[in-house]
Amino acid sequence: MLIDERLDEFKKKINAKVPAGISVSEVEFEGPELVIYTDDPKRFAQEADLIKILARDLRKRIVVRPNVLEDPEVAAGRIRSVVPDNAGITDLFFDPDTGEVIVEAEKPGVVIGKNGSTLRDITREIGWTAKVVRTPPIESKTVKDIRQYLRSVKDERKEFLRRIGRRIHRDVTSKDKWVRVTTLGCCREVGRAAFLLTTPESKILIDCGEKPGSITEGYPYLYVPEIYPLNTLDAVVLTHAHLDHCAMVPLLFKYGYDGPVYSTPATRDLSAMLQLDYLDVVNKETGTVPYSSKEVQKYLQHSITLNYGSVTDIAPDVKLTYHNAGHILGSAICHFHVGDGLYNIAFTGDFNYGKTRLFGPATVQFPRLEAIFMESTYGGSNDNQPSRKEAEQKLYDYVNTTINRGGKVIIPAFAVGRSQEVMLALEEGIRLEKIPKVKVYLDGMIKEATAIHTTYPEYLNPDLRTQIFREGMNPFLAECFEQVDSPDLREQVIEGDPCIIITTSGMLSGGPVMEYLRALAPDEKNMLVFVGYQADGTLGRRIQKGWKEIPLGRRETIVVNLEIETVDGFSGHSDRKQLMAYVNHLQPRPEKIFTIHGDEKNTIDLASSIYKRYHIQTASPMNLETYRMV
């Protein structure tokens, strides 16, 4: 059936369901959604369950949009006239993609009203659908810039979404039924994550990252026949925003990709922030960059965000559902339902099956699951991490030792995830007097990443949300933290009193941490504390192994006299015990497990152990292999 014929059929079914007097002027696919255009959005708003009924009967994600959206400036005035002043509205963001207006308010409950009455009043007044969020305690420049950019390309976005919508909902034409996965990176190594999920109808790329510390093997295998040319891809799906999973997404647009990139909203914002920072760091180090900021903008223009648990068509024969991965803000396990019940496969990305200060544990329950590709960063038989409490106490001990001898503590950390975990631990340590009351300086993208965390509180665990929003005690805004935002202040920190410095990058592959190393590494009073994984080939791994002289460029060498320590237990990855427990608790239990994203010995060890204990078929793939699932 042609797309236009299918839309006509949907329109007839919708007209048969809607009450008399409500007109449906147009029905159109826009991205993964079926959009109903009407002159009566207010009437639709009054029929509270109508959209749910239509979505269930048509088996599509339904959005209702007025034929003509109220001008945002006029609509903003009407919203403020409907919502009581004590709601404390701080910002309004009108999203023409969805017909939604995001209302940021200090008291969201007042905007919502009793049983949602005020929200319905807003929709009746302006046609836009109101979504209410709490005003973030820390304002994010990244979030504001992205929203402003998406507003500026709304016409291009609409055209793109309609084109993609028709591609997603095209007819399945092949009579063959098979599912294959090709490994394009991240196998028996950490970094450059990229996997190609293929059916007779569709091609979907899961992640596209860089390999930290590698010059010759920095990119995934994007030139192989299975994926090339790139415009044959139906979709790119991101698990999370760390650069080893997302850095090369803009490169796809440079070389011909023109389709959607799916992620959670937090992953979209964090990945754009980190990609731009990555370009800056690479440019300073090498003078050449793989892509430009224009390709980052193109990625944003082609982004489609999904929430956890939302089942979404991304190809004619593939549905995607995101589930919490517990790794960093917005990180997701990608679950793919292929065909009409043909096969179900999941990719964990990086995940953590333990509760942390920031997040709840990764999801283990799925509707169906025949195969899973799971990370094995700490998959070795001896890779068992201490408890978070033990890790924090060890960190406190190192801080006390260093500060008491008049030194400074340097903590290299990823801007996203690890930095916030360490911040929360240090804030509590200072507040409860477990460590001296010293300044904790944040350098690099850490403050901006933290602001994005407070923009998306729904991803944080309930305890932290309660502490920030109900108890009014936001640990991220504690007095001990100070942002380093200039070379002069960095110099003052280096020359000043004993302190703690949390700085990027986490594996010492460029960034502000190099300035601190240059100045502080020769002094044995100072200490460098690793709190995250150091991949093979990175400067961090070399120092961790005991290198005492670090070459910087052709002429400069850093002499490493400061104390080197590692605190395990802060990682956003599951350790060996958690990985095995995760497999044990998976519901349903898969038929096949592929161990990826780990050093060769770790992936092989984990695959072997899973097979021996649980009698599940396992494999430790190498790059450039293809596996037929069914």
Task: Provide the residue ranges of all domains of the chain, joining segments of one domain with +.
Answer: 3-66, 83-135, 171-381+573-628, 388-566
Cross-strand pairs, 595: 374
To which CATH superfamily is domain 171-381+573-628 assigned? Ribonuclease Z/Hydroxyacylglutathione hydrolase-like (3.60.15.10)
Task: Tell me if 3-66 shares its fold with 83-135.
Answer: yes
Helix axes 3-17, 50-58, angle to 10 degrees: 140
For the chain, what percentages of helix, strand and coil (3-state, to nearest 5) are there?
40, 20, 40
To which CATH superfamily is domain 83-135 assigned? K homology (KH) domain (3.30.300.20)
Per the CB < 8 A criterion, the answer to whether 369 and 346 are in contact is yes
With H, G, I as helix, E, B as strand and everything else as coil, classify residue 252: helix
Alpha carbon distance 7, 1 (integer Å): 10
Per the CB < 8 A criterion, the answer to whether 351 and 207 are in contact is no
Task: For residue range 408-418, list pLDDT tens digits in order.
Answer: 999 999 888 88
Q: Which residues of the chain have pLDDT under 50?
A: none
Q: What is the pLDDT of residue 547?
A: 85
Q: What is the pLDDT of residue 556?
A: 81
Dihedral sign, Cα of residue 32, residue 233, residue 623, residue 504: negative
Q: What is the pLDDT of residue 48?
A: 65
Alpha carbon distance 613, 616 (integer Å): 8
- Report how far apart, in Å, the C-alpha atoms of 353 and of each of 173, 325, 612 are: 40, 8, 21
Strands (E), 118-256: 129-134, 180-185, 194-198, 203-206, 235-237
Alpha carbon distance 370, 630 (integer Å): 10
Q: CATH fold of 388-566, please?
A: Rossmann fold (3.40.50)
CATH code for 3-66? 3.30.300.230
Q: What is the pLDDT of residue 1?
A: 67
Provide the 8-state DSSP code for 94.
E
Question: Is the pTM for the entire model greater than 0.75?
Answer: yes
